[in-house]
Amino acid sequence: MLDSKSVVNQVEELQLIVHDIHVEGTSLSKSFQVAAFIEKLSSSWKDFKSYLKHKRKEMLLEDLIVRLRVEEDNKISEKKFDSNPIVSKANIVEDGLKFKKRKCFNEGLSKQGHSKGQKFKGNCYNCWTPGHHVKDCKKPKNLKKKNTQANMVEIATDMIENMNLSVVVMQ
């Protein structure tokens, strides 16, 4: 088959030839006709040809014609989109510095010995259990201020201020 002509038109011509052979009295099996049509496809249809050859299910001639029409329409639509490659590339913006910074940042982390799988070794400041941060704590946030301890210190300092201390220094 030729690339210059439509595949559907070429298939119709092959159907006329098969019909003429049938009129002469020679019969061709349906599977042979399908295989001959597939084999006649041009080299630009190489991938589709190999796809059709590897199909295990027996295909009728009408099914083959429908598949050829669909594939031809797909190829035509791909050519339309491929004919305008400048337009699709015009909107692409690449910023190389952004990626280089991240690469350097990641290298710095690996030098410090941090890895993705290491677990936090300190205690949580919310529940005081080891192995996780406050942001990952499952217990409710401890919003209660420890005023009692702070007040005790203030009370103790007030008591010391109110005491009259006298110191005797002897030499």
- SS (HEC) of 18-57: HHHHHHCCCCCCHHHHHHHHHHCCCHHHHHHHHHHHCCCC
pLDDT of residue 119: 73
Which residues neighbour 127 within 8 Å (Cβ) at sequence distance 6 or greater?
Answer: 137, 139, 142
For 13, which DSSP code?
Answer: H
What pTM was computed for the model? 0.42
Reported residue count of the chain is 171
pLDDT of residue 139: 81
Which residues neighbour 49 within 8 Å (Cβ) at sequence distance 6 or greater?
Answer: 38, 39, 41
- Residue range 71-111, pLDDT digits in tens: 888 888 887 776 655 555 556 666 665 555 555 555 555 54
The whole-chain average pLDDT of the chain stands at: 74
pLDDT confidence band for 61 (50 / 70 / 90): confident
- Residue range 137-162, pLDDT digits in tens: 888 776 655 554 555 556 666 666 66
Q: Which residue has the higher pLDDT, 108 or 166?
A: 166
pLDDT of residue 60: 85
pLDDT of residue 123: 85
In terms of average pLDDT, the best of 77-86, 119-128, 159-168 is 119-128
Average pLDDT over residues 40-47: 84
| pLDDT at 47 exceeding the cut of 80 | yes
Average pLDDT over residues 28-34: 85
Average pLDDT over residues 110-117: 54
